[in-house]
Amino acid sequence: MKFSTYLTQISGVSIYPIISLSMFVVFFVLMIFWMYRLPKKEIERIENLPFDDKK
Amino acid sequence: MNQEKFYYDNKIPRLFAIACIFWGTVGMLLGVIAAFQLAFPVLNFSEYMPYLTFGRLRPVHTNAVIFAFVGNGIFTAVYYAIPRLLKTPMWNRALSLIHFWGWQFIIVCAAVTLLMGYTTGKEYAELEWPIDILITIIWVVFGINMFGTIFTRRERHLYVAIWFFIASWVTVAMLHIVNSFEIPVSFMKSYSWYAGVQDALVQWWYGHNAVAFFLTTPYLGLMYYFLPKAADRPVYSYRLSIVHFWSLIFLYIWAGPHHLLYTALPDWAQSVGTAFSIMLILPSWGGMLNGLFTLRGAWDKVREDPVLKFFVVAVTCYGMSTFEGPMLSLKNVNAISHYSDWTVAHVHIGALGWNGFMTFGMMYWLIPKLFNAKLYSRKLASAHFWIGTLGILLYAIPMYWSAFRSYFMMKAFTPSGQLEYEFIDVVQTVVPFYVIRAVGGTIFLIGVFLMIYNLIKTAQSGDFVESEEASAAPLVKEYTAPKNSIWHSLIERKPLLLLVLSLIVVGIGGLVELIPTFLVKENIPTIASVKPYTPLELQGRDIYIREGCYNCHSQMIRPFRYEVTRYGEYSKAGEFVYDHPFQWGSKRTGPDLARIGKKYGDSWHFNHMLEPTSMAPGSIMPSYPSMYENTIDKVSTNSKIHAMRKMGVPYPDGYEAIANQDLEKQAMQITKGLKENKIEIASDKEIIALIAYLQRIGTDIKLEPKK
């Protein structure tokens, strides 16, 4: 009777989690890829932004 | 390049900081009172007034801590950090002030109306529709101000903290709007648009993500700004923080559907899903480690600096909660934790440890800065740290303990197959744990008072710095990104794109979960014998909602032997189709009520609600004498029935006009029955409506013809 069982009875419902899962996987992989391509110098500048207000 | 001069304003952050500490104290104090009420029911003061009973006080406590304490904490950080990170003042001072005073006004309205009994009956979204609208307006004001600032910035790059703030803003807006669909019945009374199972799904979609996007992501923004500031060194790995951000906003919104619909997945997808669920603990832990590693090689500083001490424990608690959370979603763990004190312990590790300590650390760092002073006493701050830690332990350990004890007691059977313990036995066993928990909370609160004293002294010893001068060059119009950085820095330099992308990200994630939720209505097998509530029962149900009975009682029996034996046949989805809002509850301080109808006679309820200990010696339930004096609000019957029919509850056309006749008839019947038991009461009292409702709950299904 778990209430999610009523969800699982919707016809074709499995497409939703598959959409969500596959988009997540794609996104995650792309993101890791971008991250490694960020130039080191730029990273260094950005991560020091919180200290720019020091006189 | 020509430098432009401008000023960082400190007045708004100071206002928010004061509000944060003030409401934090109030919220925690209410929590302590509520905790003591569970051990000593006289503290409900219900003999004198109905306003302070646990069922009304607890929502004020939770709302105060979440939206007033943490909310003002977020705004303190935003109004301090964003201008400095973007090298520009906040965009519009008037909007800042409207935001500040508007938010405080909402908090006051919330506290007053909740204590008066105006509630939607949906946890963490209890506020009634006029306040919901007010929240929307102020939230938009905040958003305009934040984006105005971002668009007028002098720093091209958006530091990761700002991403967290932006994503939180967008998502909270979406959650608030979707979950607040309600149909107003009168000023300050509405019914949830959704019913039963669907209402529950939307509500917990909201609840789960509110924890993520109100209590977690904005505070991560806070961590990524203030932790490096306090440690005086950049975050351990900026790259990791990017992964942390994107995977987290994905994780929360997107993990939902594949948890909920797990069993509907084909095998290959289940395997991928499982692998990912495990991987998804990583971003949170990545975030925690990122915070802790920022302090690598600086542990001598941590030993000295109370700010860093608070941050270290806060971040550790974040790691603990985010590990515990996924564990609680496992089926067999959930069977134990659901409805129990385990959940309460879990959220308090988060609230006291993560949000609380993060806020305290920020305040100990920020207030000396704002007042250009040294912290009055480091020793006192260290004392606060240890007292607070002790408070958390004394809070959490008894709760875990009581959760397991009551679990084993609830499921114990004698060899002859009878339940070994009555519910009241369990109540009696856990009361001592409630006392220790309340003491733990008190100790935590004492720590807060030490902080207040310390910060006031600090402020007095310095001079408030109203604004700080700074200068920076304006952004150049034509800008070419360095090679290789196209992708991310494209997003990062374009806040609108970031906003739109995060909206798409959470939007699609939300839709993917919500579409099946909206389809579910057609898929719930209807039960022919389940009928709409009678007018009297509907009024009784609204009293049940008003008194917040759902804070202690569930209406949802799970298909376990020890529950079915104790409470009766397990709950079916089709039983709740007319429940606007659903009242499944989330915590069983009292027994489940899904099959309470006809379990006892009317006179039992009459005596029990007036004085619970008269029927159940040792009960910790509040008494409700005011229901025996107040009369049923018959004027509202018409519009209530009307609203229900609008939402598809099948009352006959024109029924609202004659509904009160049926109401009176049913009430007379109940009073007649009571009279036979030597109980005299007028038939227009609220208790009569409540009894009618209680006697109805879960009985329809018994009328179903046996197959």
Which of B85, B246, B468 is best to mutate for the A interface (most A CBs within 10 A)? Answer: B246
The arithmetic mean of pLDDT across residues B287-306, rounded, is 92
pLDDT digits (tens, 9 = 90+) for B38-61: 999 999 999 999 999 999 999 999
The arithmetic mean of pLDDT across residues B200-215, rounded, is 85
Which of B520, B524, B560, B701 is best to mutate for the A interface (most A CBs within 10 A)? Answer: B520
- CA nearest to A51 within chain B: B229
Structure tokens at B604: 């039992």
Q: What is the pLDDT of residue B597?
A: 96
ipTM confidence score:
0.84
Q: How far apart are CA B292 and CA B289, in angstroms?
A: 5
> pLDDT: is B119 or A38 the higher one?
B119
The arithmetic mean of pLDDT across residues B496-504, rounded, is 76
Q: Is residue B524 part of a domain?
A: no
The arithmetic mean of pLDDT across residues B8-33, rounded, is 98
Answer whether A10 sits within 8 Å of B516, measured CB to CB. yes
Answer yes or no: do B506 and B476 share one domain. Answer: yes
pLDDT digits (tens, 9 = 90+) for B643-655: 999 999 999 999 9
Which of B194, B223, B252, B258 is best to mutate for the A interface (most A CBs within 10 A)? Answer: B258
The arithmetic mean of pLDDT across residues A15-39, rounded, is 77
Query: What's B706's DSSP letter?
Result: P
Answer whether A21 sits within 8 Å of B523, measured CB to CB. no
Q: Is residue B3 part of a domain?
A: no
Q: Is residue B519 part of a domain?
A: no
Answer yes or no: do B495 and B543 share one domain. Answer: no
N- to C-terminal Cα distance for chain B?
86
Q: How far apart are CA B216 and CA B248, in angstroms?
A: 10
Distance of residue B273 Cα from the nearest chain A Cα, in angstroms: 7
Answer yes or no: do B330 and B472 share one domain. Answer: yes
Q: What is the pLDDT of residue A31?
A: 80
Distance of residue B225 Cα from the nearest chain A Cα, in angstroms: 7
Answer yes or no: do B430 and B307 share one domain. Answer: yes
Q: How far apart are CA B74 and CA B220, in angstroms?
A: 10
Long-range contacts, B81-84 (Cβ 8 Å, 24+): B81/A50, B81/B161, B81/B162, B81/B221, B81/B222, B81/B225, B81/B226, B82/B146, B82/B149, B82/B150, B82/B162, B82/B165, B83/B8, B83/B9, B83/B149, B84/A50, B84/A52, B84/A53, B84/B8
pTM of the model: 0.93
Answer yes or no: do B25 and B129 share one domain. Answer: yes
Final residue in a domain of this structure, among B514, B547, B563: B514
Structure tokens at B427: 């109540």
pLDDT digits (tens, 9 = 90+) for B137-181: 999 999 999 999 998 889 888 899 999 999 899 889 988 988 888
Residue by residue, DSSP assigns B73-131 as: HHHHHHHHHHHHHHTS--S-HHHHHHHHHHHHHHHHHHHHHHHHT---SSTT----HHH
pLDDT at residue B127 is higher than 90: yes
Q: Is A23 on the interface with B (CB under 8 A)?
A: yes
Answer whether B266 sits within 8 Å of A14, measured CB to CB. yes
pLDDT at residue B68 is higher than 70: yes
Look over chain B and give the mean of its residue pLDDT values, rounded to a whole number. Answer: 90
By Cβ distance, the residue of A10, A19, A51 closest to B520 is: A10
Answer whether A43 sits within 8 Å of B238, measured CB to CB. yes
Q: How far apart are CA B288 and CA B284, in angstroms?
A: 6
Please report residues of B whose CB lies closer than 8 A to that of A9: 523
List all residues 6 or more positions away from B379 whose beta carbon is below 8 Å from its beta carbon: none
List the CATH number of the domain containing B454. 1.20.210.10
Q: Look at residues B39, B424, B178, B159 and name the one whose alpha carbon lies nearest to residue A49.
A: B159
> In terms of residues, how long is chain A?
55
By Cβ distance, the residue of B84, B258, B276 closest to A53 is: B84
- If you count residue pairs, one on A and one on B, with CB atoms under 8 Å apart, how many are there? 161
Q: What is the pLDDT of residue A28?
A: 78
The arithmetic mean of pLDDT across residues B187-214, rounded, is 86
Residue B242: domain span: 10-514
Answer yes or no: do B473 and B555 share one domain. Answer: no
List the CATH number of the domain containing B645. 1.10.760.10
3-class secondary structure, B238: helix
Distance of residue A25 Cα from the nearest chain B Cα, in angstroms: 8
Residue by residue, DSSP assigns B504-536 as: HHHHHHHHHHHHHHHHHHHHSPP-TT--PPPHH
Count how many domains chain B has.
Answer: 2
Q: Is residue B528 part of a domain?
A: no
Answer whether A50 sits within 8 Å of B508, measured CB to CB. no
By Cβ distance, the residue of A1, A13, A50 closest to B229 is: A50
* Lowest-confidence pick of A7-16, B227-236, B300-309, B437-446: A7-16
Q: Is A15 on the interface with B (CB under 8 A)?
A: no
Distance of residue A38 Cα from the nearest chain B Cα, in angstroms: 5
Q: Is residue B91 part of a domain?
A: yes
Q: What is the pLDDT of residue A13?
A: 67
- Tokens 């079916």 locate to B572
Q: What is the pLDDT of residue B271?
A: 63
Answer yes or no: do B286 and B424 share one domain. Answer: yes
Q: How far apart are CA B181 and CA B179, in angstroms?
A: 6
pLDDT digits (tens, 9 = 90+) for B511-532: 777 777 777 666 677 788 999 9
The arithmetic mean of pLDDT across residues B319-324, rounded, is 90
Q: Look at residues B598, B610, B601, B596 and name the one whose alpha carbon lies nearest to residue B681.
A: B610
pLDDT digits (tens, 9 = 90+) for B453-474: 999 999 999 999 999 999 888 8
Q: Look at residues B181, B52, B62, B196 and name the one whose alpha carbon lies nearest to residue B117.
A: B52
Q: Is residue B312 part of a domain?
A: yes
Answer yes or no: do B577 and B680 share one domain. Answer: yes
Q: Is residue B706 part of a domain?
A: no
Q: What is the pLDDT of residue A55?
A: 45
Q: What is the pLDDT of residue A1?
A: 45
Answer yes or no: do B509 and B539 share one domain. Answer: no
Report the interhelical angle of B637-646 vs B655-676 (nearest 10°). 120
Final residue in a domain of this structure, among B468, B484, B514: B514
Q: How far apart are CA B81 and CA B87, in angstroms?
A: 10
- CA nearest to B247 within chain A: A28
Q: What is the pLDDT of residue A5?
A: 65
Answer whether A46 sits within 8 Å of B238, measured CB to CB. yes
By Cβ distance, the residue of B197, B225, B520 closest to A50 is: B225
Answer whether A10 sits within 8 Å of B235, measured CB to CB. no
pLDDT digits (tens, 9 = 90+) for B230-286: 999 999 999 999 888 888 877 776 655 545 555 555 666 566 655 666 666 778 898
Answer yes or no: do B586 and B487 share one domain. Answer: no
By Cβ distance, the residue of A1, A21, A35 closest to B258 is: A21
Q: What are phi and psi of A12, to 5 degrees?
A: 75, 15
> pLDDT: is B70 or A9 the higher one?
B70
Answer yes or no: do B473 and B539 share one domain. Answer: no
pLDDT at residue A16 is higher than 90: no
Final residue in a domain of this structure, among B514, B548, B580: B514
Answer yes or no: do B562 and B498 share one domain. Answer: no
Q: Is A3 on the interface with B (CB under 8 A)?
A: yes
Q: What percent of chain B shows pLDDT beyond 90?
A: 73
By Cβ distance, the residue of B243, B266, B508 closest to A35 is: B243
Answer whether B87 sits within 8 Å of A52, measured CB to CB. yes
Q: Is residue B526 part of a domain?
A: no
